[in-house]
């Protein structure tokens, strides 16, 4: 029973840690499917985490925080869009620039607004998204096996977490069952085919970027005012990059993306759990060695087990109308 509780706890933190990855990964899915490489996901996560925390701290409302988080991501997407769609610039460079911008600007603005070394004030109560208790969770908690599963693992997350999980089937549906999805996939593969069919490549790519911004904005918001109680420096900690890696691993498909993000979340959760644990023969393993585990496995998985991952063909290539 003890092991079972342990497992539930690890799975629970798996879910919590996977949420921002799922959101960022789906965000990246929309833009890469539309042919825009978004290496700036990392910066957008960070920027919107800061925006959300700052707004929540000032106004006291988590919802306004969410609005601000998404707003920041939209603004950054707009820059990325102008640079890479209208001006046909290099998308990777534009994305990296956004990452630097976010890292520098969040620290700078955080310090000049709140004077706490880049941190935002500690948030509490309505300034954060609190856990939602699903119906009957407390009542079922004592039921063996499924009780723990339901009350710990499924119930008790905040609204943004549920949004992330709902976003997966919605994305799958949009991508493969709707006209918009068909065009989105086409514009990432062969934008000329759309252009000659009389559909605006520019408009479609901006639409994709807007969806990307909304999703990654929610992800950033989750980081600072749902998972944590405030913003701290560089709190995205490479999650944007890991989300991109997960996207490749998942071959740009929504359900595999969910599975991959959960796997990465699991590795992260395991890492927390294993700290300070005595291993047979080896004894206690240094914290740093355990912390490196998820990253190491990421490399191994990406290098060895991914098989053929073919990116959308037009990904990263600005579209120029020519004849």
Partner 1 sequence: MATIAQTPEQRLATAAALPAAIELDGINKHFGPVHANRDIHLTVRRGTVHGIVGENGAGKSTLMSILYGFYTADSGTIRVDGKAVTITDSRHALALGIGMVHQHFMLVDNFTVIENIVLGAEDSALLGRTLSKARAQLKQLATDYGLEVDPDALIEDLSVGQQQRVEILKALYRGADILILDEPTGVLTPAEADHLFRILRKLRDEGKTIILITHKLREIMAITDEVSVMRQGAMVKTLITEQTSPGELAELMVGRRVLLRVEKGPANPGKVMLAVENLVVVDDLKVPRVKNVSFQVRAGEIVGIAGVAGNGQSELLEAISGMRDQSLGQVIINGQPVSAFGDDGAARLREAGLAHVPEDRLRMGLVTNFLEWENSILGYQNDYGQGLGLDVAKAKAEARERIAQYDIRPANTDLKSANFSGGNQQKIVLAREMERNPDVLIVGQPTRGVDIGAIEFIHNQIIKMRDAGKAILLVSVELDEIRALSDRILVLFDGQIVGEADPATADEGELGLLMAGVHDNAGSTDAARLPEHVTPVEKTLTEMSPLPNKDVQQ
Interface residues with partner 1 (CB under 8 A) are 176-183, 185-186, 189-190, 192-199, 310, 313, 321, 323
Question: Least distance (Å) from partner 1 to the CB of residue 79?
Answer: 28
Nearer to partner 1, 192 or 273 (CB): 192
Nearer to partner 1, 112 or 320 (CB): 320
Which one, of 109, 75, 107, lies nearest residue 235 by Cα?
Answer: 107
Query: Which bin fits 88, alpha (ψ -120 to 50), beta or left (φ > 0)?
Result: left
Nearer to partner 1, 171 or 227 (CB): 171
Question: Least distance (Å) from partner 1 to the CB of residue 301?
Answer: 24
Question: Least distance (Å) from partner 1 to the CB of residue 310?
Answer: 8
> For the purposes of burial, counting CB atoms within 10 Å of the CB of 276, is it exposed (0-12), middle (13-18) or buried (19 or more)?
exposed
Question: Least distance (Å) from partner 1 to the CB of residue 297?
Answer: 30
Question: Least distance (Å) from partner 1 to the CB of residue 48?
Answer: 29
Question: Least distance (Å) from partner 1 to the CB of residue 308?
Answer: 12
Nearer to partner 1, 124 or 177 (CB): 177
Task: Tell me the C-alpha distance between 284 and 116, whole Å.
Answer: 35
Instruction: Specify whether the CB–CB gap between 56 and 128 falls below 8 A.
Output: yes
Which distant-in-sequence residues (6+ apart) come within 8 Å of 76 by Cβ? Answer: 40, 43, 44, 47, 98, 101, 102, 213
Nearer to partner 1, 113 or 173 (CB): 173
Task: Tell me the C-alpha distance between 255 and 26, whole Å.
Answer: 10
Nearer to partner 1, 186 or 262 (CB): 186
SS3 at position 263: helix
Which one, of 129, 311, 103, 151, lies nearest residue 219 by Cα?
Answer: 129
């Amino acid at each position: 029973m003890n092991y079972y509780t342990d497992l539930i706890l690890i799975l629970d933190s798996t879910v919590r840690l996977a949420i921002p990855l799922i959101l960022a990964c789906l965000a990246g899915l929309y833009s890469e499917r539309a042919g825009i490489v978004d290496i700036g996901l990392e910066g957008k996560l960070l920027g919107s985490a800061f925006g959300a925390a700052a707004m929540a701290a000032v106004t006291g409302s988590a919802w306004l925080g969410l609005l601000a988080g998404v707003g920041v991501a939209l603004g950054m997407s707009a820059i990325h869009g102008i640079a890479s769609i209208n001006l046909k610039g290099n998308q990777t460079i534009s994305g990296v620039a956004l990452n630097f911008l976010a890292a520098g600007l969040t620290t700078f603005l955080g310090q000049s607004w709140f004077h706490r070394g880049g941190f935002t004030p500690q948030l509490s109560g309505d300034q954060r998204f609190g856990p939602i208790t699903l119906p009957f969770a407390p009542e079922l908690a004592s039921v063996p096996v499924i009780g723990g599963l339901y009350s710990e693992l499924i119930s008790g997350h905040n609204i943004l977490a549920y949004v992330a999980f709902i976003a997966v089937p919605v994305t799958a549906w949009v991508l493969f069952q709707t006209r918009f999805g068909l065009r989105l996939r086409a514009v990432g593969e062969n934008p000329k085919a759309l252009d000659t069919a009389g559909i605006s490549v520019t408009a479609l790519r901006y639409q994709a970027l807007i969806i990307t911004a909304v999703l990654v904005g929610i992800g950033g918001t989750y980081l600072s005012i749902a998972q944590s109680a405030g913003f701290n420096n560089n709190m995205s900690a490479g999650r944007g990059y890991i989300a991109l890696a997960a996207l490749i691993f998942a071959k740009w498909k929504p359900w595999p993306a969910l599975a991959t993000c959960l796997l990465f979340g699991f590795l992260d959760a395991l890492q927390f759990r294993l700290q300070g644990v005595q291993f047979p023969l080896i004894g206690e393993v240094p914290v740093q060695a355990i912390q490196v585990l998820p990253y190491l496995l990421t490399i191994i998985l990406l290098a060895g087990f991914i098989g053929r991952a073919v990116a959308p063909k037009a990904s990263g290539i600005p579209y120029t109308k020519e004849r």
